[in-house]
């Protein structure tokens, strides 16, 4: 009777059906332990579940704990949520237990832990760098430090890999347009039809194309059509050591007139200087001296202390040239001076009755022109210095002279015959044995081709301000530079056009001066005036 009284109604979930008070206490203890495990599991998941390495990586769970968590999860999900949080022990183990080496035993006891783990990763899209555990806090921190160190090592390795890839030459893109998979020779042919703007845009696609489009072969055609890019009209490259692409970039500044003006040298009294360039040295005459200066690496400044001083004339130096490691100078005292550049050797001898206005030297031969209306031929050989080989009588004073590359040693012809009085030639230069340029008092630059005519030039350019042209210089292709007598104006001309391209006035009214001489490289233009030496820097405008 006493045992029946302890029975409760069947199926109500309370104590009953032969269950004693001790059994009831045992079940309540189990529920409490489940709640404690549930709380610890949530705390562990909050601390290490995100896998960042900052809070640590707890130890793997045992299969029993995984099963308990699975059962609780199933109970929470209820009968209508089995698709996402099913209530079986096996499903709970599949969600929590990992399929790696550290949880191999738990995976075996939890029935297919690895497969469930892959399923869980695919569904959530998260990294699992930590798992809930009942491990001690110290061990969890140690695991976290290990995981953080591993992440740091991986980051350093990735950075090193990127640096190595940047240093190594870029490889051809593996994917993309079929155009890039063509043979390199065929791709060069296709790209050779592109203009400068298209090549520049193509270089921005990837590293391999940037390297490919920097090839000199692609830029050679563009450079030959550009101003002052180092190519002659016949295609000879005068600056093979400089990449063609870099020269084309600077040539755009010449075309657009972008430059920075400066003054390299100043002198106190008015001069009529002449100038020559050779390598990294500049030679300029001041009064009866010739001074040699060395350029600094930028080419836009000079070392203030001259490398050498060459003297010997009693009056101003009117003109000089560089030839065979010699300086050949013409002076107002009617003498010619011969100086060795790298020694103190100097010889001067009387050449004309009046001032020597011009001189030239090629192939061991010196020619000079004077105000006394004669031109003379001299030998540069040491045993025959000062000995006149030939005298040419002219009808007027000789202002400029140039030796033909043919070195014929004879008067070949007279250029033109219809010039007005006073239309003297002040500067003259050969481009080839049959072509030459001249400028002078009549304000014109003329281009002569001896194969076509010696009486009429084939092309001419007129100074727009009706100013005398004292000097000229050409790049051997399309660029022409002239120096005017009014306000020290330097003009740039594109020989494919009639009009002047750009004008740079270098002096103002108080100290107005002609441009007595000018020279230029692919990056800089140097102009010698009465009081100073100017520079136009086209590399860094």
pLDDT tens for residues 389-446?
A: 999 888 889 999 999 888 776 667 778 777 777 778 999 999 998 999 999 999 999 9
Q: Looking at per-residue confidence, does 236 or 149 come out higher? A: 236
What integer is the mean pLDDT of 296-319?
91
The SS3 call for residue 504 is: strand
* Interatomic CA distance for residues 459 and 495, integer angstroms: 9
The confidence score (pLDDT) of residue 246 equals: 94
What integer is the mean pLDDT of 217-224?
93
**Whether 318 contacts 357, CB under 8 Å:** yes
The confidence score (pLDDT) of residue 416 equals: 73
Per residue in 251-263, pLDDT tens?
999 999 999 999 9
Q: 16-25, 247-256, 368-377, 471-480: lowest mean pLDDT where?
A: 16-25
Q: pTM of whole model > 0.75? A: no
What integer is the mean pLDDT of 449-467?
90
Answer whether residue 334 shows pLDDT above 60.
yes
What is the band of 342 on the pLDDT scale with cuts at 50, 70, 90?
Answer: confident
Which CA distances in Å does 390 have to 108, 329, 361, 374, 404? 113, 19, 15, 10, 16
The SS3 call for residue 409 is: coil
The confidence score (pLDDT) of residue 286 equals: 92
* Interatomic CA distance for residues 110 and 309, integer angstroms: 98
Q: Domain-by-domain residue ranges, the chain? A: 259-279+425-540
What integer is the mean pLDDT of 347-351?
92
The confidence score (pLDDT) of residue 38 equals: 58
* Interatomic CA distance for residues 416 and 197, integer angstroms: 44
Per residue in 85-100, pLDDT tens?
344 434 443 443 344 4
The confidence score (pLDDT) of residue 507 equals: 81
The confidence score (pLDDT) of residue 260 equals: 95
Closest by Cα among 94, 137, 135 to 118: 94
Q: Looking at per-residue confidence, does 192 or 145 come out higher? A: 192
What is the band of 11 on the pLDDT scale with cuts at 50, 70, 90?
Answer: very low
The SS3 call for residue 172 is: coil
What is the band of 357 on the pLDDT scale with cuts at 50, 70, 90?
Answer: very high
CATH number for the domain running over 259-279+425-540: 2.130.10.10
The confidence score (pLDDT) of residue 25 equals: 67
Answer whether residue 71 shows pLDDT above 50.
no
Per residue in 156-199, pLDDT tens?
555 554 554 444 445 666 666 677 778 888 888 988 899 999 99
User: What are the tokens at 314?
Assistant: 């009693």
* Interatomic CA distance for residues 210 and 200, integer angstroms: 9
């Amino acid at each position: 009777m006493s045992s029946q009284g302890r029975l409760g109604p069947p199926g109500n979930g309370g104590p009953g059906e032969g269950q004693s008070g001790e059994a009831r206490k045992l079940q309540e203890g189990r529920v409490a332990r489940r709640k404690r495990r549930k709380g610890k599991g949530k705390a562990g998941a909050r601390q290490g579940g995100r896998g960042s390495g900052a809070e640590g990586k707890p130890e793997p769970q045992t299969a029993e704990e995984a099963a308990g968590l699975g059962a609780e999860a199933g109970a929470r999900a209820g009968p209508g949520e089995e698709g996402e949080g099913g209530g079986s022990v096996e499903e709970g183990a599949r969600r929590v237990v990992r399929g790696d080496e550290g949880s191999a035993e738990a995976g075996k006891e939890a029935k297919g832990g690895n497969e469930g783990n892959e399923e869980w990763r695919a569904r959530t899209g998260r990294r699992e760098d930590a798992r809930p555990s009942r491990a001690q806090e110290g061990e969890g921190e140690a695991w976290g430090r290990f995981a953080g160190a591993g992440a740091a090592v991986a980051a350093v390795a990735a950075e090193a890999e990127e640096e190595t890839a940047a240093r190594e030459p870029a490889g051809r893109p593996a994917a993309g347009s079929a155009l890039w998979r063509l043979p390199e020779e065929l791709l060069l042919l296709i790209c050779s039809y592109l203009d400068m703007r298209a090549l520049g845009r193509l270089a921005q696609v990837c590293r391999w194309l940037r390297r490919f489009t920097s090839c000199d072969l692609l830029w050679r055609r563009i450079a030959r059509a550009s101003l002052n890019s180092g190519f002659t009209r016949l295609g000879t490259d005068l600056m093979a050591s400089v990449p063609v692409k870099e020269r084309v970039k600077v040539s755009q500044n010449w075309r657009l007139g972008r430059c920075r003006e400066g003054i390299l040298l100043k002198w106190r009294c008015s001069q009529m200087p002449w100038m020559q360039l050779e390598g990294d040295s500049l030679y300029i005459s001041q009064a009866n001296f010739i001074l040699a200066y060395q350029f600094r690496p930028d080419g836009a400044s000079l070392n203030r202390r001259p490398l050498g001083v060459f003297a010997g004339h009693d009056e101003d130096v009117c003109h000089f040239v560089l030839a065979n490691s010699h300086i050949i100078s013409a002076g107002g005292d009617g003498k010619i001076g011969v100086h060795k550049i790298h020694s103190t050797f100097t010889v001067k001898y009387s050449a004309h009755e009046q001032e020597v206005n011009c001189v030239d030297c090629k192939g061991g031969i010196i020619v000079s022109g004077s105000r006394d209306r004669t031109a003379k031929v001299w030998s540069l050989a040491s045993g025959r210095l000062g000995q006149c080989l030939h005298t040419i009588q002219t009808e007027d004073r000789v202002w400029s002279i140039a030796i033909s590359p043919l070195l014929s040693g004879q008067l070949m012809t007279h250029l033109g015959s219809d010039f007005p009085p006073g239309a003297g030639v002040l500067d003259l230069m050969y481009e080839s044995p049959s072509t030459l340029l001249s400028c002078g008092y009549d304000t014109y630059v003329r281009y002569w081709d001896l194969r076509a005519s010696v009486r009429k030039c084939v092309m001419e350019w007129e100074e727009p301000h009706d100013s005398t042209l004292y000097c000229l210089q050409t790049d051997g292709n399309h660029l022409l530079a002239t120096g005017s007598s009014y306000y020290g104006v330097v003009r740039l001309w594109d020989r494919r056009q009639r009009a002047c391209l750009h004008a740079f006035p270098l002096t103002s009214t108080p100290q107005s001066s002609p441009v007595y001489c000018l020279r230029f490289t692919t990056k800089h233009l140097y102009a010698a005036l009465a009081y100073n030496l100017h520079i136009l820097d086209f590399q860094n405008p």
